[in-house]
Copies of this chain bind each other. A is one copy, B any other.
Amino acid sequence: MTSQRGEDEYRYKKVEQEISKHIIAGDLVPGDKLPSLRQMSTNLKVSISTVSHAYEELEKRGLIESRPRSGYFVRSEFRKIPTPLVNTAQKLEPHTVTKNKLIQTALETVGNKNLLPLGVVCPSSELLPTKHLSKIMSAVIRENPDLSINYESISGNMQLRRQIAFRSVDCGSNLTAEDLIITTGAMEALYISLRTLTRPGDLVLIQSPTYYCFLQLVESLGLRAIEIPSCPKNGINTKEFSAAVKKFDLKACILSPNFNNPDGGLTPDHAKKEIVELLAEKNIPLVEDDVYGDIYFGDTRPRTFKSFDRKGGVLLCSSFSKTIAPGYRVGWLAPGRYLEKAMEIKATTNVSCASPTQMAIARYLREAHFDRHLKKLRSAMKEQMNKMRTEIALSFPKGTKVTDPKGGSVLWVELPAGTDGIDLFFKAREEGIGIIPGSVFSTRDAFSNYIRLSSGALWSDKIQKGLKRLGELATK
């Protein structure tokens, strides 16, 4: 019975998703009549009752409306929502980062479990292999009591490093276990990279917008940053990048080529190659953040900068925080030719990472559960993002734009000019909704009318209502 019901639910959700997609894509515009129940049932090879159930759900969500004796129509209030454009007119100049206070406030929101988690980028635990990992953790601890209680080596658990190296073939990197240092999340990998490469006062290049924790780190290390615009579609523009590299005395570049947080930009592989070669020529190291690389919605995993690196100048940072277990804090760094110095920084920061969590993730990978899980996770993230985009299209003020990323787990929302993202952040927080204001993603006075929404939370009525309310708050 339950399995039959599960099957039905799966079928009508499929229909619902199919139709939403066409509306979002603009194939169906406001006022268009939907196929009749019978016709749709034939088209999609599902029962009439399944289609009827899907239509009802779409009506509840405000996407379509039924007109007496005429059938179902796309609601006229519904608009196709454009994606934000990249602003390339900005002047390139170094900035000292001073947004730490605002970022701290935003970060506290992320940690606040009483808020609707539209600010948290990690998938909610329903989408993570929670029970499976618990069992594995119990097993590794029981089977290796001594190993789990004792120190790991500075570079980290060898089994884990072997598994990461083995998987690096997917993104073209071909790492060995000896190339890797296990870190407390990707954040520590990035921190070690910047400590390895820079001294206070140095100039680094970042994408704009970029993840606010990077800005916070840059500020806390006393660095100055030059920002080059990132495009929600094609990520880093090689022309602008190359101009900046030639103009400034850069000590490092920090780039997220695969689904940049927050704008979701995906830098094409040919551009990656060009960037790596240019930097190799100029002898400028490149710190690569690839935490979202495994959450791609297309057919193949995008490559990394590291996969084009011939001279060891790319420091690849990643983690399992967005795919397996945020709280296990297991990340890694492949620091290329900076391995020795990076090990020194790791040793003097905290000696080594916790043993049990490394052992559990190593076993999870070794038992080959990861790929099956990733497949499900990717499909869930894609679906949730679509639903969120639809709700935003329905509820947000006219003039709102939202990204349509090819992977990752965030949407970058441009509100109509004049809307204050920080104001909206505080208003939303008061109503129990956690979001991140756009201006924390740049050192400049930019993105003040943007917000970032995470699609990591399992879709629910609560999320939908939260988005609707957010739309109302943004409209006022």
Contact = CB atoms under 8 A, between A and B. Distances in A.
Interface of A: 100, 104, 107, 111, 122, 125, 128, 130-131, 133-134, 137-138, 141-142, 145-154, 183-185, 187-188, 191, 195, 199-200, 213, 216-217, 220-222, 325-330, 343-345, 347-357
Contacts of A154: 107, 111
Contact of A350 (B104, B188, B348): B188
A134 to B, nearest CB: 5
Chain A contact residues, majority secondary structure = helix
A221 to B, nearest CB: 8
A-B pairs with lowest CB-CB distance, top 5: A327-B355, A184-B350, A188-B350, A138-B138, A217-B348
B348 A191 contact: yes
Given A111-B154, A142-B138, A356 B344 contact: no
A33 to B, nearest CB: 45
Contact of A184 (B134, B148, B354, B356): B354
Contact of A137 (B130, B199, B356): B356
Contacts of A150: 122, 125, 326-327
Contact of A149 (B141, B145, B328, B345): B328
Contacts of A327: 147-152, 354-356
A154 to B, nearest CB: 7
A169 B191 CA distance: 35
A222 B213 CA distance: 24
Given A100-B344, A188-B349, A354-B328, A134 B151 contact: no
17 contacts: A107-B347, A111-B151, A125-B149, A130-B146, A134-B148, A137-B137, A138-B141, A148-B327, A184-B351, A184-B354, A191-B348, A200-B200, A216-B348, A217-B348, A328-B354, A329-B350, A350-B350
Given A133-B149, A137-B148, A328-B354, 7 more contacts: A152-B327, A185-B350, A195-B220, A199-B200, A328-B355, A329-B353, A349-B349
B130 A134 contact: no
B125 A134 contact: no
Contacts of A137: 137-138, 141, 148, 356
Contacts of A354: 184, 327-330, 353-354, 357
A122 to B, nearest CB: 7
A104 B347 CA distance: 9
B356 A220 contact: no
A284 B355 CA distance: 36
Nearest to A148: B327
A191 B349 contact: yes
Nearest to A357: B354
Contacts of A133: 149
Contacts of A328: 149, 354-356
Nearest to A217: B348
Given A151-B122, A199-B200, A356 B355 contact: no
Which of A183, A191, A217, A348 has the most chain B CB atoms inside 10 A of its CB?
A: A348
A420 to B, nearest CB: 25
Contacts of A185: 350-351
A34 to B, nearest CB: 39
A220 B344 contact: yes
Contact of A151 (B131, B326, B345): B326
Contacts of A104: 343-344, 347
A356 B356 contact: yes
Nearest to A195: B220
Nearest to A352: B329
A145 B131 contact: yes
B350 A111 contact: no
